[in-house]
Chains A and B, each alone.
Chain A
Amino acid sequence: MAQTAAVYAAILIPFKVGIPIIPGFVELRPANAVPIVASLLFGPAAAWGAAFGNVIGDCFGTLGPGSLFGFLGNFCYGYVPHLLRGHLGVLSSERGPTPSSWRQIIEFMVICSVASMACALVIGWGVDLLGLLPFWIVVPPIFLNNFLMGVLLAPPLLFFLHPRVKRWGLLYEDIVRSEASLDPEALDPSTELRVEPEPGRGLDGSGARGGRSIQETRSTPSSHPSPVTRHHILSVENVSFTHTGAARPALNGISLRVRQGESVALMGRTGVGKSTLCYALNGLVPQLIPGRWSGQVTVNGHDTTSRPVWQQAGMVGLVFQDFEAQLLSTNVTMELAFPLEHLPQPLSPPAMASRIERALERVGLSGLDRRDPLSLSGGQRQRLVIASTLIREPALVVLDEPMTDLDPEGRRTLASLLASMRAGGTALIVAEHDPEDAVAADRVCVLDHGAVVWDGPPRLLFGDPDIPPWYGIRPLPLVSCFAGLKLPDPPMTVEEAWQVADAHGLMVAPDEAALHQEAVRKDAPVIIDAHKVSYEYQRGSPVVSDLSFAVHEGEFVAIIGLNGSGKSTLAMLLSGLNTPTSGRVLVGGRDTRTLGAGQLATTVGYVFQNPDHQIFAETVGEEVAFGIRNLGFPPEECERRVAEALDAVGLAAPEVRKLDPFSLTKGDRQRVAVASVLAARPRILIFDEPTTGLDAEQTDRMMRMLRRLNQRGHTIVIITHTLSLVAAHAARCAVMRDGRIVADGPTREVFRTLTDPQFAASVGLEAPSLTRCAARWGHTLLTVDEVRAALRKK
């Protein structure tokens, strides 16, 4: 219900076509197709969703007594389709809700007209009753608006959503059928825990919540600690789990034990089961994520499947990879109060307030207690989510890729917070990709194909640079540099590298002339020229201010800086997707204000961080063709360009075109997004965080692809937090702070300034470990090969 309400309200607000028929009462808005679609897919919940969604929409400025009738009218609008489908006698098609046959079209039209009329009559009657507007003025436009939007927009939405919602197991009729078929009597209470397969899988392939609870199929609950696991906070014993509908297990006989205060880094390729294991540690797998389960997970001796997840919140704190989904309240204090409000032993409000204060202090958010969580920076939001798990004082905290979206300063703050949690006796399990973060852990546990393939101290894993790549993990760059020396204990940090160098009489002395350095193409024509641009989302608060920046044809430029420094806004301005509040941006010599969407798409391609924000078509081929079809190219030309674009991103295999884009991994979905932009053959490509959430192999593939595109003549601009990628790939680098560019030039020069601690602190960045290591000898080196070649005896 909340979902439909939020979607409806959210679409109502920004997606209004902007034609107020009766201001404050009736507007021509495409969002009005949503209740019909939601009702046909999700059943009665859509009625409540539509009703509350309308009230929420009113709460953004037009709350009045008419809202009551808006509530009732929209409830009818969301309920009638569910009520009528299949109950229209001879008019019923007895088939799915998508209008794909004559009988279904007739049924759909009847449903639309009756629902629209019911809504219009209720609102018209109510508004007239209150003496606000005459009945006959209100009813026709509401009816027409709802009916038109329903007839025009609901069918394409249904065609797209119905098969997917069915596959994800969220279709109302399937859930009802599934619940009706439950027969608890037939279950043997002594059998091994098993959740029966249900149709549908999650968008990420990990399965969706079905209509049944684990409690209905599990063995007799046991609330007594198991004697076998008494000495460990966590014990995972031979756990296997296969997502519903999946061919292969996500977890395959995993065993793992963790002691109090111990810190374990979970590593491995994307998709090897790290997140599934994290979810299994507080019972989300298999209780909310259905599938075939065997084995046992105990926390503090309690089997995680013996009690509902919510009863285990005090033992295990879990921070999701997509931690923003865990923010539930409109201010920081309420966010932290929420878990305390659900403690089994009630706390008084003053006691809660005192705990909230302590938790905020612990994560460094004191003084922000009245702020809206969404107004905090990414790092602050993440610390807030961590505080909301710590506040119940769990013995074990599990973090799923917590560093993904953080800038260098955010990573440092989080690392010190994790160290203090460990010192306080909290056991930590952190899933991550970056070896430099994993080095600080007590143990590294590597997963591959759902099984633990390596478990031991990080020095053992990272000491040999040849081992991590076996498991799709990047080796530590400093270890790779010193690998040739065959040291028994190779250096893993910059300080260790200096000590090793001193002990072995080594120094870094590169042949400066031989250093590979791509020249900044100042001689090439300027292709993007931003002149004194400023941009404000809210008046008086410029995000980019008075900035001038030029990109030359064929350059590979990286824009770096802290979260909130204005990088993405600048990129949007350079792409023409936003136009400056003042100043001007010329792309290919033309002011972006004068360019239409079609002209922009053929000049500048912008690839967003999250490919799911653009993917909507049913097949990869359709998705890639979407942009060029918008531009009006004939089918043969579209076909040619789709093939060319897919080839450029390494997805040339013909069978790929017919795949559902959502069935691909995130790395491949990102490639589809790049291909769909490339198909328009833009000369400039702008990428916003192109490697976020990708493992080492996927990151390498993505960066190689960018290099290839650059070599083919595309101008590349990337925004990234990963400075090692900038060092390895970008010829030019610009550093942003507070909406301005504070350093700009060849990457080597910019990184030289970053080795100055004062400058690095002022921009919140830190040069990569290699660069900092070499800086001791006065040189600025960027890659492993450069440092390795420069290492020599004094």
Chain B
Amino acid sequence: MNQYFLYLDRDTWLHRLDARTKVVSLLGIFAVALIFSDPRFLIAPAILVVMALISAEALVNLRKMWLLLTLLFLYCLLLWPFFVTGRTPMIAMGTLTLTNEAVRYGVAMGLRLDVMFLGGILLLSITRIEEFTLALQRLGLPGPMAFALSLAFRWVPSLIGAAGLIVQAQRARGLDLGAGHALGRIRRYPPLVVPLIGHTLRHTRLLAMALESKGFGPGAERHGFLELRMRRADYGTLAVMVALVGLCIWLRVAGYGTVEVRFS
């Protein structure tokens, strides 16, 4: 698979799941992460997703993204305590008081974001672009949009390749992107963006011709090669996800899994 995509071509039980099951399960993970605001209750979903990543043999993607995940966590941890407040003071700095609840809330928000992003990484590691867009189509996205989305996905690596060449070609003529202040650097981008857009416009025209030459047209009917088929494992996975989300809602309604904070 292309280096830019996260998809890993493996044959694990998670890869074999129907793409719709994967998308719905991702929504389940998002729901679980959104239900709780107590870090203790978010540790379990985080561990669960990491275990799923291990099971999907996708730890390599986790290694690619760990820095971003750590930054996100730290950002939330440092930011939220200044926007919420609780009952138990920890540190007082002038008019500002950090509370125990606010810090816990910050940790929880960091975990929440990480769980969500880990869920996204899991989905992208086990789902081909074609399956992903087909699943979105089956879940209600209009066909032409699903197709355009899939084409755009396909295009990104080749455009990144072209962009890389353009950067090199302009560097060869003395354009130093890294030098100077931020404003100066930004102003040096037109020589990069203009050839890229020109390249894309030429490519668009060829693409329209290529599509029609392959039988794709406004009135052409598409008879899909990929078959989305729900198997026993899909129903089992969905049942577990429904049960998990149900359990989390029950816990939340019963008063568990939240940290009581006031937004300042």
Q: Show the binding face of A for B, using Cβ within 8 Å.
A: 1-3, 5-7, 9-11, 13-15, 17, 19-20, 22-24, 28, 30, 33-34, 48-49, 52-53, 55-56, 58-67, 130-134, 137, 148-149, 152-153, 156-157, 160-161, 164-165, 168, 170, 202-204, 208-209, 279, 282, 284, 287-289, 308-311, 313-314, 317-318, 320, 322, 324-331, 333-334, 337-343, 346-347, 349, 352-353, 370, 372, 374-375, 388-389, 392, 538, 572, 575, 577, 596-598, 600-602, 604-606, 608, 610, 612-616, 626-628, 630-631, 662, 676-677, 680
Contact = CB atoms under 8 A, between A and B. Distances in A.
B153 A56 contact: yes
Interface in B97-143: 109, 112-113, 116-117, 119-121, 123-124, 128-130
A320 B210 contact: yes
A325 B207 contact: yes
A313 B1 CA distance: 29
A610 to B, nearest CB: 7
Given A52-B148, A314-B215, A538-B3, A14 B163 contact: yes
B190 interface: yes
A61 B6 contact: yes
A597 B64 contact: no
Interface stretch (B49-57, B85-93, B181-189, B241-249): B181-189
Contacts of B165: 608, 610, 613
A149 B186 contact: yes
A535 to B, nearest CB: 14
Interface residues of B, number: 110
25 contacts: A7-B197, A9-B159, A10-B156, A11-B163, A13-B4, A28-B182, A61-B68, A64-B119, A130-B34, A131-B34, A152-B187, A204-B202, A288-B212, A310-B220, A313-B212, A325-B210, A330-B1, A340-B225, A341-B223, A342-B214, A374-B158, A597-B176, A600-B172, A612-B202, A614-B195
A324 B7 CA distance: 22
B240 interface: no
B224 A597 contact: no
Contact of A152 (B30, B113, B183): B183
A10 B121 contact: no
A203 B201 contact: yes
B12 interface: no
Contact of B68 (A24, A313, A320): A24
A389 B224 CA distance: 18
A266 to B, nearest CB: 18
Contact of A614 (B151, B170, B200, B210): B170
Interface in B153-177: 153-177
A608 B193 contact: no
B209 interface: yes
A762 to B, nearest CB: 29
Q: Which residue, of B3, B117, B176, B205, has the highest number of chain A Cβ atoms within 10 A?
A: B205
A284 B156 contact: no
B225 A165 contact: no
A24 B212 contact: no
A341 B224 contact: yes
Contact of B190 (A156, A168, A282, A614): A156
B183 A23 contact: no
Contacts of A596: 176, 179
B201 A3 contact: yes
Nearest to B170: A614
A63 B209 contact: no
Contact of A326 (B80, B169, B195, B214): B214
B250 interface: no
Interface string B7-41: 10100000000000000000000100010010000
Q: Which residue, of A313, A327, A538, has the highest number of chain B Cβ atoms within 10 A?
A: A313
Given A14-B163, A134-B83, A160 B194 contact: yes
A352 B148 contact: no
Q: Which residue, of A19, A62, A577, has the highest number of chain B Cβ atoms within 10 A?
A: A62
B232 interface: no
Nearest to B172: A606
B173 A630 contact: yes
Q: Which residue, of B117, B149, B183, B227, has the highest number of chain A Cβ atoms within 10 A?
A: B149
Contact of B173 (A279, A314, A347, A601): A601
Given A330-B154, A342-B214, A352 B202 contact: no
Q: Which residue, of A152, A168, A596, A597, has the highest number of chain B Cβ atoms within 10 A?
A: A597
B42 to A, nearest CB: 12
Given A63-B120, A157-B193, A203-B201, A17 B128 contact: no
A52 B152 contact: yes
Contacts of A326: 206, 210, 213-214
A48 B9 CA distance: 30
B143 to A, nearest CB: 12
A42 B187 CA distance: 23
A676 B163 CA distance: 19
B159 A10 contact: yes
A157 B194 contact: yes
A577 B109 contact: no
B209 A630 contact: no
Contacts of B224: 341, 349
Contact of A676 (B1, B71, B171, B173): B173
Contacts of A626: 173, 175, 191
Contacts of B7: 330
Given A62-B120, A330-B5, A577-B172, A56 B214 contact: no
B216 interface: yes
Contacts of A203: 198, 201-202
Given A20-B71, A209-B208, A65 B30 contact: yes
A61 B113 contact: no
B75 A23 contact: yes
A19 B182 contact: yes
A348 to B, nearest CB: 9
A330 B177 CA distance: 32
Nearest to B203: A325
B159 A597 contact: no
A37 to B, nearest CB: 8
Contacts of A9: 152, 156, 159
B199 interface: yes
Contact of A375 (B2, B37, B121, B200): B2
A61 B203 contact: no
Given A11-B193, A61-B121, A349-B227, A334 B130 contact: yes
Contacts of A152: 183, 186-187
B79 interface: yes
A1 B79 CA distance: 37
A153 B217 contact: no
Contact of A325 (B113, B206, B216): B206
Contact of B79 (A67, A137, A353, A572): A137
B176 A598 contact: yes
A331 B9 CA distance: 10
Contacts of B163: 10-11, 14-15
A544 B146 CA distance: 40
A11 B79 CA distance: 29
Nearest to B225: A337
Contacts of B187: 152-153
Contacts of B227: 349
A23 B212 contact: no
A154 to B, nearest CB: 10
A542 B168 CA distance: 20
B251 interface: no
Contacts of B34: 65, 130-131
Nearest to B71: A23
A149 B57 CA distance: 40
Contact of B174 (A282, A330, A631): A631
Contact of B193 (A24, A34, A333, A337): A34
Contacts of B71: 20, 23-24
A69 B166 CA distance: 32
Contacts of A131: 34, 37, 109, 112
Given A52-B149, A132-B112, A612 B172 contact: no
